[in-house]
Amino acid sequence: MRRFAQVLRAIFAAALLAIGAAPAAAQEAPMTGPIAHLPAIAGDYFPLQSQAANRLYHIFIRYPESYAAEPDRRWPVVYVLDGDSLFPLIAPTQLFLHYDEGLPEAIVVGIAYGSFDPAVNARGYDFSAPAADARADQGGAPAFLRFLRTELIPQVESRVRADPARRVLVGQSRSGYFALWSAYADPDLFWGRIASNPAVKPGRDLLLSLPAVAPTRGDLGVVLVSGTRDDSAERREGARAWGERWEGAADAPWQANLIELEGGTHAASLGGAYRAAMLWLFNRAAAPRP
């Protein structure tokens, strides 16, 4: 893990040198160095200084294999939280899902901090909601959501041929909480949401509440994948409570699916969790509900 972080830091430094003093949002920086020889994850990179969240994020983009050959096509975009560790896993998994399962190719966007050092990596703050049971170092989810809505998504969709109607948000553990919470806070922003073994607090009640703003579309989908070997009984119980609240509920503003991944562990089974969730999202009934 330490070696991987060192490689990522070298990549970030090279990319920053490549874009020079020009504003980050205005430049494209194809990946350089050894990662350029790994086509399953190579693509573009740019740093993005967020005004909403008041921190720097490192953004990685992996393109579908046929992206250049189909210049008129718009593509689903998978936004991957915790990109420091999850982007190198999800990007090739998406490629294999196209090969093996016939799922549409997709653009994959990784949102990374550039380090696992808690002084830099703010996942505990960014991915937790303000709530009565939140600690002083939690509660940054509204600012991070503004970053996604007003800064990152517009930047990505100005750079790539994205299909805004088919955005997918992926989170694991603490970022899985954010994926679920974002459905409450801004349901229309993502067509699909995937939460793998999500944390359930602070603010557990928000995950079981109707959205703060009613969605305007009827094709939204939210998937929670819970590993039967997740080492937290609290997370497993929270997943079951979420499924009981939303699966098939008459007042559900989205189609909801709880997938219990047999033998799945907390983190190492993310590839299987992503596969199961994406198959459901893309193969579910397409007819919008009233």
pLDDT given for residue 8 in this prediction:
45
Residue with tokens 């190492």: 268
Name which of 32-36, 38-42, 243-247 the model is least confident about.
Answer: 32-36
Domains, the chain, in order of start with CATH, read 2-283 (3.40.50.1820)
pLDDT digits (tens, 9 = 90+) for 246-283: 999 999 999 999 999 999 999 999 999 999 999 999 99
pLDDT digits (tens, 9 = 90+) for 55-99: 999 999 999 999 999 999 999 999 999 999 999 999 999 999 999
Asked if the model's pLDDT at residue 180 lies above 50, the reply is yes
pLDDT given for residue 84 in this prediction:
97
Contacts of residues 69-76 at CB distance under 8 Å and 24 or more positions apart, as own/partner, are 71/161, 73/161, 74/161, 74/162, 74/163, 75/104, 75/105, 75/106, 75/107, 75/160, 75/161, 75/162, 75/163, 76/104, 76/106, 76/107, 76/162, 76/163, 76/166, 76/167, 76/168, 76/191
The four Cα atoms 54, 42, 99, 155 give a dihedral, to 10 degrees, of: 40
Between CA 269 and CA 49 the distance in angstroms is 32
Classify residue 74 as exposed, middle or buried by CB count within 10 Å of its CB (0-12, 13-18, 19+): middle
Asked if the model's pLDDT at residue 54 lies above 60, the reply is yes
- Nearest Cα neighbor of 148 from 215, 81, 216 is 81
pTM more than 0.85: yes
pLDDT digits (tens, 9 = 90+) for 149-173: 999 999 999 999 999 999 999 999 9
Residues in the chain: 290
Contact 84, 116 (CB under 8 A): yes
29 pLDDT band, cuts 50/70/90, is low
Give the type of residue at 194.
I
